[in-house]
Amino acid sequence: MLTYRNHRLTFGLDGDIDLARITEGEEHPFYLYDLRYFTYRYQAFREKFADVAHTIHYAVKANAHPKILGLVRDLGGGADVVSGGELLRALESGIPADRIIFSGVGKTKDEIALALEKKIKQINVESISEFKRVHAMAEARGQVARVAFRFNPAVNPETHPYIATGFRDHKFGMDTESIHECLNLIDRPNPAVWVAGVTLHIGSQILEIANFDEALKNTLPLLDELRGRGYALESLDVGGGLGVRYDLDHETVDLENLDRYARTVLERTAGFEGELLFEPGRFIVGRCGVLLSKIEYIKRTPHKTFVILGTGMHHLIRPALYQAVHRVRPVIRRSETTSLVDVVGPLCESSDFLAKGIPMTDVEEGDWIAIADAGAYARSMASEYNLHEFPEEKFITD
């Protein structure tokens, strides 16, 4: 929640964190996370599936801070990782190997060796070549690799094209024919892979629940077929992707969407006798963070007013890369009247903006600004471009 109380911006699970107080005496931009909020969103997700066997594999890429992964461990969750680095980070944070799944189209030999050595829960395989590699490496090690086939259900989710993954022309997943080809390769006694399940992930920041419904509907025939061929299919991994209403101050609509999402998944998978796996990232961590920065300068030109911050696209690239909208608010509201401004960063390119043409109440140089919903894909995509340092990360725990 990000809301004004007595003209001071407050943040956090109960809106009890006074950002003017938190920023007092600070100079440089920083991220602030409310871990209580993380727990709350995690539990809200988990409760929806309380009646079925399931595991939440938090998508580490959304925010890989060890404190967050430690919380996932404490909550009994697992991890979805997409690199050897994320795999090691999850293990170091105490998430057990048998609660880690490994996704991604480009797993190297080293990464597969690490996954096999640590005996993780499953490798989500995305191509015939990867399947062959996993099989050969497991065989050479005298191991049986646990894999799930990432199915491309050929749906075009209604999200930004850069974060859609579930359509035929995306690099992700396999069609039914490719999965058949993989199965033919292991049609012999004692193969070195065990088909643990099927996995999907159609994209990110999806608000249209019908997209998930269609994806699951397209996947059911494959599940039937694999079962028919004698594969037990312990799990169906429905991926992540549930979006956050970045434009809204309150999360009511997020929670209504979660409810619709859960009902859709539960209805579609009603006949499935295995564990459901989920890989949510943004939905759980997105709203738990805020990026805070001082105004360095206010620059007025005949055409525009620029509010120039100490932070920019190097700390939150989403507006520049996906035309994403993050609410940008002064920490102290000095007026009721607003004027239109561009909120920009210090980097030497014009893509370095956080918001363009937004109404903002009066601000002065030295005031602090909060950029909302910076829990997911902010720090994890940050860079040191122009040799700026990474912002500090601060935590509210209780």
Site for ligand LLP in 337-376 (CB under 6 A): 376
> Which of the residues 264 through 293 are near ligand LLP (CB under 6 A)?
279-283
Which residue from 34, 80, 86, 111 is in contact with ligand LLP, where contact means CB under 6 A?
80
Which residues lie across from 290 on neighbouring strands? 32
204 binds ligand LLP (CB under 6 A): yes
Long-range contacts for 8-13 (Cβ within 8 Å, ≥24 apart)? 8/331, 8/332, 8/333, 9/329, 9/330, 9/331, 9/332, 9/333, 9/370, 11/290, 11/370, 12/36, 12/37, 12/396, 13/37, 13/40
Closer to ligand LLP at the Cβ: 121 or 294? Answer: 121
Task: State how far the Cα of 172 lies from the Cα of 305, in Å rounded to an integer.
Answer: 42
- Least separation in angstroms between CB 147 and ligand LLP: 14
Minimum Å distance from CB 140 to ligand LLP? 27
Quick check: 216 and 157 in contact, CB under 8 A?
A: no
219 binds ligand LLP (CB under 6 A): no
CA 362 to chain centre: 34
Is residue 246 involved in binding ligand LLP (CB under 6 A)?
no
Handedness of CA 257, 263, 264, 269 (dihedral sign): positive
Q: Among the candidate windows 233-241, 251-259, 269-277, 351-359, which touches ligand LLP by CB under 6 A?
A: 233-241
Q: Which of 166, 197, 240, 391 binds ligand LLP (CB under 6 A)?
A: 240
Catalytic residues: 348
Minimum distance from residue 157 beta carbon to ligand LLP (Å): 10
Strands in 103-222 per DSSP E: 122-125, 145-150, 193-199
81 in contact with ligand LLP (CB under 6 A):
no
Binding mask 297-316 for ligand LLP (x = CB under 6 A): --------------------
Rg of the chain taking only CA atoms, in angstroms: 22
Q: In the bound complex, what is the minimum distance in angstroms from residue 198's beta carbon to ligand LLP?
A: 13
Binding ligand LLP by CB under 6 A: which of 36, 48, 201, 326?
201
Which amino acid, 393?
E
Structure tokens at 114: 């690490």
Q: How far is the CB of 24 from ligand LLP (least distance, A)?
A: 30
Give the contacts of 271 (CB within 8 A, at least 6 positions apart): none
Cα 101 from Cα 122, distance rounded (Å):
5
Q: Does 239 bind ligand LLP (CB under 6 A)?
A: yes
Q: Which positions touch ligand LLP (CB under 6 A)?
A: 59, 61-62, 80, 103, 163, 201, 204-205, 239-242, 279-283, 318, 322, 376-377, 381
